[in-house]
Amino acid sequence: MANGRKRRKGTGSSRSSTASSPSPSNEATPKKQHRQNVQVDEESDDEPNVIDVDSATPGSPRTTKQPDTTDEEELRRAMKVYTNQKSQCYSFFNPPTTSDHKDKNGRFMIAYKCKSCGGQFNRPIYEKSPTNLSKHVDACKARQLKSQGTQKLAALGVSGTGDIDVREVPQLCAVWCAQAARPFAALGDDLHQGIIHPTVLKNLPGRKTLSRDISKLYTAVQESLIKLFKNHKGAMYLGLDAWQSPNGFDVLGTVIYQLVEEDEGGFHLEAMPLDFVRLQKNHTGKYLAETVQLIVEKFGLKDKIFGIVTDNASNNKTMIEEIKTYRWPRFKGETQWVRCFAHILNLIAQVILRPFGSHKRKKDSTTNDEEDSDKEEPDDPDQQIRLFDAGEDEDDDDDDEDDESTLNESAVATELIDDEEIELEEEDVNDLSDEDDDLDRYTSSSCKASLAKFRAISRKLNKLPNSKAHFVTICLDQDCARPHNVGRDVCTRWNSTLAQLSSIVRCSQAILEWQKDKQHGTLREYHINRDDIDLAKDLIEVLQPFYDITLQVSIRGAARIADIVVFIDQITCHLSTIISNPNDDYPPALRNACCAGLQLTNKYYTLTDCSPLYRVAMVLHPSFKDEYFKLAKWKPEWIQESIRLTREMWETHYKPLPQATNSQPPIAAPKVIFSFITRFTMHSC
């Protein structure tokens, strides 16, 4: 090692030493040039830098010729190279731009943005080889191949998961529980945790935290609604209804109806749940009015409420009278009370069914709880038929009920029409026809027995699987229409009676054969005949229009206050046709029932005269105006009164203020008129 490091002594003279001094430089130059040739990239876009050998002096550093160019010139040069695309890697990048970053020489670099990943690659201007760009392209291709092996759900068409922010998890959980009234403990269920998002699972809130989050979210939403209502221009309508939740709490629900202006200049009706308040006392009219007053003041709607929509319970009438004493600017009391027409249809239908032995709740002084679904049907149809055959009359129990009993939604027609506002007097039903047991196909007493038989058949088919299977087999043999079943008649829904009657008629051929089976059929006293089926057909014909109108007014956004008078006219014409049928196609029992329903319809028709809203809405309806009144043969003074009420409402609430004469701003009256017309033709009832 030492000998290898020892310098050999020169043997020549100083001249030879001096003469040989350039030789190392000459010998080293080819070697360095050779090393540079090896390092040159074959895909280089420019020629390699040439070293000026002649200008190099011994001991001086090697320098590279760098053209003195500006950043703009370098960018144009890079753009030219990108356009030529001698290397395929350039096709994976967008056109180059000047980067915000500088290289080690203080010059701005050239930026290339990747089309695949969106990343930006900065290349110094002195770097001419696209090698680093090619490496980036290879890396992107590798990531794409790897992602194809493990595709995301979105790539397979499963959307909705996405990325979840950790801060959104409490809100998502609160909305999930509150929107469908799910228990808080449902979040902690093991099976449920196995299907939720990993981010949600990691940050799942507890039950107490979830309860607090729902309360905070509810408060935040209310604050936003208060700001929204404050900026609203125009009148609003308030919908109210009280009911009992499944867990036994009495709740007063409120819905606000308003017209929202669209960006294009039109309007659309918006129905928004406003608030839900737990009722702590008896549902008296005064207590309900106080509760509504608190809700209205909380949201700042006292100056905007123009009408209230409720059902026809007597305590609601007391509530309206009490609210009138609060002196809201736009609400004037009963004249602006809109009665729920679906509830009116329910009352009329139950009055028609009442003579035929519709469900009647027995009075119980010890409890006011509603009967469950199992008790809604008679426990002993045999006892019920014997009771009807004995000629006992259910009217013996028609005593007056107090106001609280009318609040129960399961009350039968007798209790519902005991309210003063809809009570039928003796003179209202003085044109009843006499029934003849020998000549009539069916009478009121026989109809009671028929409906009891229908309920007995339904009960057996729903309770005994073997009887149901045998009945289905007979229905298939008889080619009866589906479904092969007899619906249940529930006392809280009159339309369930219609559904049961329809199923009896639909499967009548199968029932007549099935009931004869000693093992699977009914007892002989429950057997039906053609008269029973005729009764079912006639009742279907009577009740079907009520069902169709109920569906129409129950569709969200489809019910209009202008349609109420038209619906009442349709019902009046329908019942009058049955009552005055010249061919006597209907027995006196059915005509008498329709007569009671017609009298109740006329009483509610009279109540529409107490409120100007109905007539104003019809005058403003583009399809009605005053022509409908003429077709309905209204008296001229009635038509003039409707037009006067419309003009008065326009001048009081909607007519634009007069403008100054010295200035002429754009006239906004057409838009105000459209809003006025739309307001009364779009509101639901």
pLDDT digits (tens, 9 = 90+) for 62-120: 444 455 678 888 888 888 888 887 788 888 888 888 888 888 888 888 888 888 787 88
The answer to whether residue 533 sits within a structural domain is: yes
Cα–Cα distance, 361 to 168 (Å, whole number): 50
Please tell me the predicted confidence (pLDDT) of residue 465: 93
- Is 609 in a helix, a strand, or coil? helix
- Residue among 208, 207, 210, 197 nearest 170 (CA): 210
Distance of CA 629 to the CA centre of its chain: 37
The answer to whether residue 505 sits within a structural domain is: yes
User: ∠ CA(506), CA(510), CA(511), 5° rounding?
Assistant: 85
- Give the DSSP H or E segment for 238: strand 236-244
592 and 620 together in one domain: no
503 and 574 together in one domain: yes
The answer to whether residue 8 sits within a structural domain is: no
Please tell me the predicted confidence (pLDDT) of residue 454: 93
627 and 585 together in one domain: no
Instruction: Please tell me the pTM assigned to this model.
Output: 0.62
The answer to whether residue 15 sits within a structural domain is: no
The answer to whether residue 490 sits within a structural domain is: yes
* Length of the chain in terms of residues written: 685
Position 615, amino acid? R
Domain assignment of residue 596, given as a range = 372-396+425-553+569-601
Strand partners for 38: none
Residue 300: give its domain's CATH number: 3.30.420
- Is 256 in a helix, a strand, or coil? strand
Distance of CA 204 to the CA centre of its chain: 27
Please tell me the predicted confidence (pLDDT) of residue 442: 76
The answer to whether residue 192 sits within a structural domain is: yes
Distance of CA 433 to the CA centre of its chain: 49
Q: Are 280 and 252 in contact (CB under 8 A)?
A: no
Q: What is the DSSP letter of 234?
A: S
User: ∠ CA(411), CA(412), CA(416), 5° rounding?
Assistant: 75
In the chain, the number of structural domains is 5
Distance of CA 43 to the CA centre of its chain: 62
Can you list the residues of the chain whose pLDDT is less than 70?
Answer: 1-68, 147-162, 358-434, 436-439, 557-559, 659-685
453 and 495 together in one domain: yes
Tokens read off for 561 = 């206050």
Tokens read off for 325 = 């004493």
The answer to whether residue 272 sits within a structural domain is: yes
The CA distances from residue 241 to 53, 245, 251, 471, in Å, are 100, 12, 8, 42
Cα–Cα distance, 603 to 592 (Å, whole number): 17
579 and 445 together in one domain: yes
End-to-end alpha carbon distance in the chain: 110
101 and 236 together in one domain: no
523 and 631 together in one domain: no
390 and 445 together in one domain: yes
Helices (H), 464-529: 465-477, 494-506, 508-514
The answer to whether residue 510 sits within a structural domain is: yes
128 and 174 together in one domain: no
Give 665's contacts (C-beta < 8 A, 6+ positions apart).
659
Other beta carbons within 10 angstroms of residue 254's beta carbon come to: 21
489 and 508 together in one domain: yes
Cα–Cα distance, 567 to 311 (Å, whole number): 17
Q: Tell me the Cα Rg of the chain.
A: 44
Give 524's contacts (C-beta < 8 A, 6+ positions apart).
none
496 and 448 together in one domain: yes
Which residue's entry shows tokens 């007979």?
474
Position 150, amino acid? T
Please tell me the predicted confidence (pLDDT) of residue 135: 85
Strand partners for 232: none
- Is 350 in a helix, a strand, or coil? helix
589 and 464 together in one domain: yes
Pairing relationship of beta strands 236-244 and 250-261 according to DSSP bridges: antiparallel
